[in-house]
Amino acid sequence: MITHRSYTVEPWCVRETALGLDVLAQSESVFALSNGHVGWRGNLDEGEPHGLPGSYLNGVHELHPLPYAEAGYGYPESGQTVINVTNGKVLRLLVDDEPFDLRYGRLVAHERVLDLRRGVLERSCEWTSPAGTTVRVRSTRLVSLTQRAVAAVAYEVQAVGGRSRVVIQSELVANESLPEPGDDPRTARALKSPLEPEEDVAVGNRLRLVHRTKRSGLRVAVAADHTVTGPGRTTTSSESNVDVARLTVTSVLEPGETLRVEKLVAHGWSGARSRPAMSDQVEAALAAAGHSGWQGLLDEQRACLDDFWARADVEVDGDEEIQQAVRFALFHVFQAGARAEQRAIPAKGLTGSGYDGHAFWDTETFVLPLLTYTAPDAVAEALRWRQNTLPAARERAAQLGLSGAAFPWRTIEGSEGSAYWPAGTAAFHVNADIADAVVRYVAATGDLGFEAGTGVELLVETARLWRSLGHHDTHGTFHIDGVTGPDEYSAVADDNTYTNLMARANLLSAADAVERHPEAAARLGVDEEESAAWRDAAEAVHLPFNDELGVHEQHAGFTRYQHWDFAGTRPDQYPLLLHFPYFDLYRKQVVKQADLVLAMYTCDSHFDDEQLARNFAYYEPLTVRDSSLSACCQAVIAAQAGHLRLAYAYTAEAALMDLADLEQNTRDGLYIASLAGTWTALVAGFGGLRRDGTGLRFAPRLPERFSRLAFSVQLRGSRLRVEIGPDKATYTLLSGGPLAIRHHGTPLTVNGDGPVVRPLPPPPVRPAPAQPPHRSPKGR
């Protein structure tokens, strides 16, 4: 978007200076507001024109049968798709009987601003109707980060030049028409009229609709209240039917007079509560929001974000686009998890219906690291959601003939939603990714109560899975065969290095946790023999290595595969999965996304510097980055290997993935993991952040383009600020007790006595690795 002529580059906002109908759907994603529970796409207030209408409640979905040409034991039976719930954003406007539609008449000016400090979307425009009447419209929209169920809009119309008869129709609308989905498999299935009506109410300025989904049986309630301010001749009336509740506000405005409507909208859903209970719930939420009032909601929003930015801001000197992009990323990642509260953080957050609204391993591996060091409460809630879905994961493991829990590859409510088992069922590494998130959170927070109540159960059940999934050979080596690692162009392979290393860490962490929490271990039926078996398996895990090439194999035998014909692959044949059969991809040396390279980041202690450099040089020419998850990982390892220019290029790709619509799917929603990857590329890449037991270590170095990089992290109640210049790093304790850290391997303690300054060693000098033809980093 920031490459579009209508968008400016500014440090604390995203500004659209003219309405670009050619990028309307993309802008709706960019301007989306959410709190992790409620999500409103950035549709125009009047509802039309639109790209993709979107109002979402986290967890609200509909079921549909999964198609199979041939039945097979263990295939998931039904899929889940996020649905567009009752839309409370709509404020239709008529001016002298002409609908306010920006496709008609003359649009004199139009500007929208996503204010990252205040957490609001502001809009101002001036429009002359086909009949020659001119009005100015201003609106401010927010989804409350402090009142979980509440979103709100303030909408103003001002007459310009002459008297205007104005009508505002504030609506709740269910079962909106949606555009037909495209051919992209990431696009959500369109479900027509998924909501069945149960109640519609319009009394005075209050509106309410209650519906229930047809198959999943979820009840959705949305209510609205209004404060109307205008000339004395302003009148209101309300009405409702099964899918629309409407407040109509009518006024005659003299030049300079303004009609203002403040709309508070409350949302709720449940699979268990009754219709009266749901009605009461949203009415109570409205009452609380009304007590705060519009200005109170604005003040609460700003205070919440002031606190977040004090903990999370990343400052980049030398590249204005990346500075804007990283703050945009931090804002949207925080929105995605702030009030999710034991619900998933979907791949697209609540910004669009892409990926059917599913959550993947992306959450634990890419999103939760950022939140662990900036907003850890959101991490605990996301992991409690995984714990809540353990019954479905245990059932899935038993169905597959395994012990413990097999968490789903993609899901909304906890059951497996992937119909393609080589990429879905076989991608068992999601279980170790969840365990890794548990260990990271506990190490960063010291929250032993969480570990005892939630963490141990997740660690134990995933450890049991690995012990039953793998096996010892006649030499005692532990193998995990027939799995799919992060690279989805290599499926059902033996001894995937990433999977094996993550499983190893999972097994050891589970054994350590049950020693710390014997009561929890007894409750889960873990004895010394079982935990000893986990340790034995972990210590004997096989890591495939090609001695001739001197590199680790992505999986056993990978380096003997035929190389992909990159020279014969046209630029328009990427992504490869849309132009070549998986059967062909699975048999060749071609990598969709960082896999072995990701292992070197997440399990770095198993690779020395020379191995890391050789591995990176080998896999870089094979990696086509047909996934937006890849660039940030490659940025991290490129920086560690000393390829700072390449790391900078990959950082730019990760940062601009959505803002520049590099994958051509921003219209379906923002990719929250790639947004989080911007932080990863900067903080773990150029900051060199790694977990070091219960502490942290840093190995900072900057690319030529940056003159300064600064960020903060939270660790065990303390807040550390890291500021990196071209030749030195400064560590400052902002709050809390002293922290023991490492700087390029050297231990140091940061306390309240003042900043600690250390020089930066020069990066290693190595030949720059090549990328596949036509696959150089995007964005620069």
* pLDDT tens track for 635-672: 999 999 999 999 999 999 999 999 999 988 999 999 99
pLDDT per residue as tens digits for the range 614-627: 999 999 999 999 99
* Calpha distance 608→234 (Å, rounded): 74
% of the chain with per-residue pLDDT over 70: 98
The pLDDT value given to residue 1: 61
Computed over every residue of the chain, the mean pLDDT equals 95
Q: Tell me what the mean pLDDT of segment 410-419 comes to.
A: 94
* Whether residue 250 has pLDDT greater than 90: yes
Confidence of residue 66 (pLDDT cuts 50, 70, 90): confident
The pLDDT value given to residue 190: 42
The pLDDT value given to residue 107: 95
CA dihedral 620, 625, 628, 631 (to 10 degrees): 20
The pLDDT value given to residue 185: 44
Q: Tell me what the mean pLDDT of segment 124-140 comes to.
A: 96
Q: Enumerate the known binding-site residues for substrate.
A: 361-362, 592-593
The pLDDT value given to residue 399: 96
* Calpha distance 16→19 (Å, rounded): 7
Which range, of 157-161, 182-186, 512-516, averages the lowest pLDDT? 182-186
Catalytic residue at 488? yes
The pLDDT value given to residue 184: 40
pLDDT per residue as tens digits for the range 689-742: 999 988 999 999 999 999 999 999 999 999 999 999 999 999 999 999 999 999
* Calpha distance 530→533 (Å, rounded): 5
% of the chain with per-residue pLDDT over 90: 92
The pLDDT value given to residue 768: 93
Domain ranges of the chain: 13-274
* Whether residue 69 has pLDDT greater than 80: no
Model confidence, pTM: 0.96
Pairing relation of β-strands 195-203 and 471-472? unpaired
Q: Tell me what the mean pLDDT of segment 490-511 comes to.
A: 98
Confidence of residue 2 (pLDDT cuts 50, 70, 90): low
SS (H, E, C) 60-105: CEEEEECCCCCCCCCCCCEEEEECCCCECCCEEEEECCEECCCCCC
Q: Enumerate the known binding-site residues.
A: 361-362, 592-593
The pLDDT value given to residue 673: 97
Q: Tell me what the mean pLDDT of segment 465-480 comes to.
A: 98
* Cis bond before residue 49 (omega within 30° of 0): yes
Of the listed 488, 530, 553, 663, which one is catalytic? 488
Judge whether 382 and 451 are in contact, CB under 8 Å: no
The pLDDT value given to residue 496: 98
Pairing relation of β-strands 258-270 and 150-160? antiparallel
Which range, of 260-274, 415-429, 481-495, averages the lowest pLDDT? 415-429
The pLDDT value given to residue 653: 96
* Calpha distance 593→632 (Å, rounded): 10
